Amino acid sequence: MSATTLLEPSAPAVLLIDQQAGLAFGVGSTDRQVLLSNMVALAKTAKALPVVMSTFASRVYSGPVMPTIQAVLPEVASIERHNMNAWEDDRVTTAIAQTGRKKLLVSGLLTEACISFPVLSALADGYDVSVVADACGGVTSESHSLALRRMEAAGATMTSWLQVLLELQRDWTRKETYNDARTIVEAHAGGYGIGLAYARDMIRISLR
């Protein structure tokens, strides 16, 4: 797939890296609450896709996967690593290979290392990688931006959680995913979500 090919639900797997409170403390590139909302929204979207989750130093510094994220994906067990580059952990790459998918959506902390390193490695191994940039956080705005630019220059596609959701849904008459998609938008997409809820409520009123 290329950057010009729209996502299909049968194509991507999702790699969630180090979405842990101890690392979130170090995020200075964006508002942490907005970032957490974005990561939760992506996790909710990912429920329909294969998900691989990995953590780093969860017992000594970083803590477990943040509860609001783990609660969305209770069946996904995190793979604990000791190295910054998840792609250098055979359990992670094996889990990704077992999905049978060569398109990756990547999100997590921190952009400068634990996101950029595996993204660059995955690209080198022939994977098509999209970085969900607004569901990643860096130490500073500048270092986060530089890491995104480096990954993009290497061939990764930059996207957002909302674009991922809308790209997968694409047609609001897809009834099997409509309710879930609408609920995620209403909860996490700010003014767009408010507008969607308003339109739904107005239709209900007009039908009375």
For residue 132, being part of any structural domain is answered with yes
For residue 69, being part of any structural domain is answered with yes
Residue 190 has pLDDT above 80, yes or no: yes
* Same structural domain, 30 and 71: yes
Could you tell me the residue range of the domain that residue 195 belongs to? 171-208
For residue 4, being part of any structural domain is answered with no
**Has this prediction a pTM greater than 0.85?**
yes
In Å, how far are 55, 89, 102, 173 from 65, measured between CA atoms?
Answer: 7, 18, 25, 34
Query: 114 catalytic, yes or no?
Result: yes
* Same structural domain, 182 and 152: no
pLDDT at position 2 is: 60
DSSP run (H or E) holding 17: strand 12-17
**45 contacts 164 by C-beta, under 8 angstroms:** yes
pLDDT at position 128 is: 97
Which entry of 17, 106, 114, 162 is annotated as an active-site residue?
114
Q: What pLDDT digit, counting tens, does each position of 151-184 carry?
A: 999 999 999 999 999 999 999 888 999 999 999 9
Residue 143 has pLDDT above 60, yes or no: yes
* Same structural domain, 148 and 202: no
| pLDDT band (50, 70, 90) for residue 205 | confident
Q: What pLDDT digit, counting tens, does each position of 77-97 carry?
A: 999 999 999 999 999 999 999
